Amino acid sequence: MKEILTPTVTEHLKLLDRAFENSTRLGIMSALMVADSVSYTELKNLLKVSDGNIAGHIKILEREEYISVIKQFIDRKPNTSYSVTEKGRTAFLRHLDALEAILKQR
Amino acid sequence: MKEILTPTVTEHLKLLDRAFENSTRLGIMSALMVADSVSYTELKNLLKVSDGNIAGHIKILEREEYISVIKQFIDRKPNTSYSVTEKGRTAFLRHLDALEAILKQR
DNA sequence: CACGTAACTTTGTAATTAAAAGTTCTATTT
DNA sequence: AAATAGAACTTTTAATTACAAAGTTACGTG
């Protein structure tokens, strides 16, 4: 059965996913939502963060199974690229829905 | 002069305000944006967090001058209420604008 | 004056965030 | 062959943040 009551802001707040509350991770997800895959280096340059930093955020998203990795050699150089998983896409959309509901009251 | 170029997602990410990246603080601001003032106890119950926790988040928003305090007695009992300041309202709207721009690409 | 309630503060601890430096692997250059 | 370089990490170190639990202060009530 469908929902009848509009959940309150409070309820939407509980639907927020902490994995997406960090702006770097938000950036990673945003990039992966609009591109089939994005490389490690592209992400790092795009978001202007250190190696240690982006690697940490990537690891968190990987641990949640929100993104997947593809390791290959391109032009004889190592290339690590990331894609959003179905689980990640769903979770991210849910997060954005909650955010949207919260900010709609503006 | 008006902006011509739509800022990219990356640029919007930089416009996010860390003060609003925590969901409890997001909840406090959301509540204060739609009500003239909300009491300490209301906020605590609404967001279901401990005294120490909400007091800490309130302090952060106060330090940023995003919210202001009104202390009074109501029915002979102490009552502390909070309101959003102009600075807070502006900052919050800017944050939401940035968020909206980021999630528009969905 | 003991007790309750609002509103904090303090304490202690764990988690998060991030920069910097070090590591590994492979490829290229000398 | 040795040195150099780039990609992609990991480790180290440090600072900040988050949060629960317990303690504190001020005022009011019975």
Per the domain annotation, does A1 fall within a domain?
A: no
Distance A47 CA to C30 C1' (A): 36
Residue B85: CATH number of its domain: 1.10.10.10
Say how many domains are in chain A.
1
Q: Is A55 in CB contact (< 8 Å) with chain B?
A: no
pLDDT score recorded for residue B49: 94
d(C-alpha A20, C-alpha B14), whole Å = 15
Q: Percent of chain B beyond pLDDT 90?
A: 77
Range of the domain at B82: 9-104
Per the domain annotation, does A24 fall within a domain?
A: yes
pLDDT score recorded for residue A6: 62
Per the domain annotation, does B80 fall within a domain?
A: yes
Over the stretch B92-102, which tens digit does the pLDDT of each residue have?
Answer: 999 999 998 88
Distance A7 CA to D12 C1' (A): 45
Nearest to A106 among B10, B46, B96 (CB): B96
Alpha-carbon gap: A5 to the closest alpha carbon of chain B (Å): 18
pLDDT tens for chain A, 106 residues: list them: 555 556 678 889 999 999 999 999 999 999 999 999 999 999 999 999 999 999 999 999 999 999 999 999 998 899 999 999 999 999 999 999 999 888 887 6
Per the domain annotation, does A55 fall within a domain?
A: yes
Over the stretch B62-83, which tens digit does the pLDDT of each residue have?
Answer: 999 999 999 999 988 899 999 9
Per the domain annotation, does B4 fall within a domain?
A: no
Q: What is the DSSP letter of A75?
A: T
Per the domain annotation, does A4 fall within a domain?
A: no
Q: A67 CB contacts (<8 Å, ≥6 apart)?
A: A28, A29, A32, A58, A61, A82, A83, A84, A85, A88
Per the domain annotation, does B2 fall within a domain?
A: no
User: Considering the entire predicted model, what is its pTM?
Assistant: 0.89
